[in-house]
Amino acid sequence: MRRLKEDIEAVKYNDPAARSVLEILLTYPGLQAIWFHRISHFLYQHHFFLLAKIHAQFWRFITGIEIHPGAIIGHRVFIDHGMGLVIGETAVVEDDVVLHHGVTLGGTGKDKGKRHPTVKKGALISAHVQIIGPVTIGQGAKIGAGAVVLTDIPDYATAVGVPAKVVRIAGKKIEGK
């Protein structure tokens, strides 16, 4: 119950439009996707792979958010709107991350092992960002809308563009950018 309460508080903190707990419970597909991912992930961890995938695909149909049952999702992760969001099998999303609609945490192909991104604590990933491969998005980093991230982004950096380039670190503009 503590974790469910944390999730609801994360919605209230990150979305000024959230008016009540009942509204959050009934109308926030990002919250629903995370809750049902926990069940899929539990099944996946206990080697019920097919059942985990079927469960995840059902909730993908309901929420428009695809989270592979193997992905690791931390506490207080907030998915804003969420439609079209995809999180791959070996992705790791740490605590207090904000993800917007259209984000892809995707792989680069048929490689084995870690092939999806890791998003560190407190990062903000804006709408329609594509993060591809086993890259790391640093703690507290911000990725601007529409960016395509193919390399690691340092802690507290802001990255924008295609391909994404770091333009600020800890709020200070990078010389020549």
Higher pLDDT, 151 or 110: 151
Residue 82 has pLDDT above 90, yes or no: no
pLDDT score of 171: 84
Phi, psi of 6 (to 5 degrees): -60, -40
pLDDT score of 90: 96
Residue 31 has pLDDT above 70, yes or no: yes
Judge contact between 133 and 153, C-beta under 8 A.
no
CATH number at residue 86: 2.160.10.10
Residue 110 has pLDDT above 80, yes or no: no
- Alpha-carbon distances, residue 79 vs 21, 138, 158, 166 (angstroms): 16, 18, 19, 23
Q: What integer best gives the mean pLDDT of the chain?
A: 95
Q: Which residues pair with 142 in a beta bridge?
A: 124, 158
ω into residue 29 within 30 of 0, thus cis?
no
Whole-number Å distance between alpha carbons of 97 and 129: 14
Query: How open is the CA angle 130-137-106, to the nearest 5 degrees?
Result: 35
Judge contact between 49 and 63, C-beta under 8 A.
no
Range(s) of the domain holding residue 90: 2-173
Q: Give the mean model confidence (pLDDT) for residues 105-133.
A: 94
Total number of domains in the chain? 1
pLDDT score of 176: 64
Residue 177 has pLDDT above 60, yes or no: no
At 38, which amino acid appears?
Answer: R
Backbone angle region of 64, left / alpha / beta, with phi > 0 → left and psi within -120 to 50 → alpha: left
Q: Which residues pair with 56 in a beta bridge?
A: none
Higher pLDDT, 142 or 109: 142
